[in-house]
Amino acid sequence: MRISTAYPQQFNINSMANQQAQLTNTQAKISSGQKYLTPSENPSAAAYSLGFKESIALTTQYQENIAAANQRLGLEETALTNATDTIQRLQELGLQGVSDSGNSTISRDAIASEFDQLSEHLLSLANTRNANGEYIFAGTKSTTMPYSKVVADPNAPATDTPNPSFAYAGSSMQRAIQVGVSRTITDGDAGPAVFGSTQDGTSVFDAIKRFTAELKADKPTLETLKQIDDALVRVTTVHASIGARQNALDRQKATNDDFIINTKTALSNVADLDMADAITKLNSQQTSLQAAQQSFAKVQGMSLFKYL
């Protein structure tokens, strides 16, 4: 078989082109810091990398949810601290009002006036909104103002059972937020769980209004004051649960942080380039390519006719 002079030349050219392509590929990997530039280089590693990245992104979202939940619970905690102080003041005034000694109609009217002011303040706390404009005590209907006064119908028939004086327009369901793969935590409390039911007139607002009316009629009762006491128990119970949820969020955040760190390490092992090894490989490829180029230049200049 005869081999033309052009064959070894083309072979050398193809070989140098392959070496140049390998060198370019290595340079691109060093520039990107990635072990594989395309999924076809290692389909298994590409699949693992995609899974790791999705897990990191999802857990990062959980961390953002935790931050939002902590912010909402912190705002609720502040509101309930204020509500506790307000109800305790109502209790103090209520005890003064039911006391027979030293209480005239005028003094009870003064107490009733302060009751009205405190009721307004408590109502504003129940309608607290967060930085996003969401009502924190509206349950899942966070864009709806939860509490409002009911305008009495002057034509309604008289009844021995007092009608509710306030209405709740929110939801009775608590809003849950995902903070882990299998973990959700409520980031707030619905109004009825904190301030009582307005449907049957047992909310703290209705109790305050009834006691105010009793004060103005100079007939305050311990029975109505007891409803205000019950409201304080309800508020403090919910307040305590906020601390428990905040602790749970802190623990979940630490768990998520550990997961993200471990997953990033696994992703790095699969996808990140060993820079020292790559640079050594790059130097070797450059040396080989230069040697091939120099050799080709010498061989190309050789011809049998030069020796004849």
What would the DSSP string read from start to end of 75-139?
HHHHHHHHHHHHHHHHHHHHHHHH-STT--HHHHHHHHHHHHHHHHHHHHHHT-B-TTS-BTTST
Helices (H), the chain: 6-32, 43-98, 105-126, 191-195, 204-216, 222-271, 275-300
Asked if residue 53 belongs to a domain, the reply is yes
120 domain-assigned: yes
Instruction: Output the pLDDT for position 166.
Output: 92
Asked if residue 218 is part of any domain, the answer here is yes
> pLDDT at residue 111 above 80?
yes
- Beta-bridged to residue 185, according to DSSP, are 177
Is pLDDT above 70 for 20?
no
pLDDT of res. 284: 66
Please tell me the distance from the alpha carbon of residue 302 to that of residue 305, in angstroms, as a whole number: 9
* CATH number assigned to the domain comprising residue 68: 1.20.1330.10
Phi, psi of 9 (to 5 degrees): -65, -45
Please write the tens of the pLDDT for every residue from 229-245.
999 999 999 999 999 99
Total domains present in the chain: 1
pLDDT at 160: 45
Select from 238, 241, 210 the least CA-distant residue to 119: 210
Q: Dihedral sign, CA of 236, 237, 239, 240?
A: positive
User: Which of the two residues, 171 and 286, has the higher pLDDT score?
Assistant: 171
Domain with 258, as residue range(s), is: 49-264
CB 302 within 8 A of CB 25: no
Pick from 49-58, 173-182, 280-289: least confident: 280-289
pLDDT at 212 over 60: yes
pLDDT greater at residue 34 or residue 133: 133
Q: Percent of the chain beyond pLDDT 70? A: 70
What is the reported pLDDT for 2?
A: 52
Residue/partner pairs of 196-199 with CB below 8 Å, 24 or more apart:
196/230, 196/231, 196/234, 197/168, 198/147, 198/164, 198/166, 198/167, 198/168, 199/164, 199/168
Mean pLDDT of the 119-140 span? 95
DSSP, res 186: E
The residue among 162 and 247 whose pLDDT is bigger is 247
Distance between CA atoms of residues 35 and 114, nearest Å = 73
Instruction: Using the CB atoms, write b or e for 96-129: b if 16+ within 10 Å.
Output: bbbeeeebeeeebeebbeebeebbeebbebbbbe
Least confident of 22-36, 102-116, 117-131: 22-36
To the nearest whole number, what is the mean pLDDT of the chain?
83
- pLDDT surpasses 50 at 139: yes
- Given a cut of 70, is residue 159 above it in pLDDT? no
Quote the pLDDT of residue 256.
97
Contact 235, 87 (CB under 8 A): yes
Segment 211-217 shows an average pLDDT of 93
Residue 227 has pLDDT above 90, yes or no: yes
Segment 254-266 shows an average pLDDT of: 95
Answer yes or no: is 204 within a domain: yes
Distance CA 88, CA 240 (A): 17
Summarize the confidence of residues 6-22 as an average pLDDT.
64
pLDDT for the residue 19: 66
Residue 158 counted as domain residue: yes
More confident residue, 287 or 268: 268
d(CA 172, CA 192): 7
Phi/psi-derived region of residue 190, left when phi > 0, alpha when psi is between -120 and 50, beta in every other case: beta
Residue-level pLDDT at 201: 85
Q: Under a CB-based contact definition with an 8 Å cutoff, are residues 228 and 204 in contact?
A: yes
Asked if residue 143 belongs to a domain, the reply is yes
| Strand (E) or helix (H) holding 166 | strand 166-168
Average pLDDT over residues 180-207: 92
Q: pLDDT category, 148, cuts 50, 70, 90?
A: very high
Structure confidence at residue 270 as a pLDDT band (50, 70, 90): confident
Q: What is the pLDDT of residue 190?
A: 95
Average pLDDT estimate for 14-28? 65
pLDDT value, residue 21 = 64
Do 201 and 162 contact (CB within 8 A), yes or no?
A: yes
Please check whether residue 122 lies inside any domain of the structure: yes
- Whether residue 107 lies inside any domain: the answer is yes
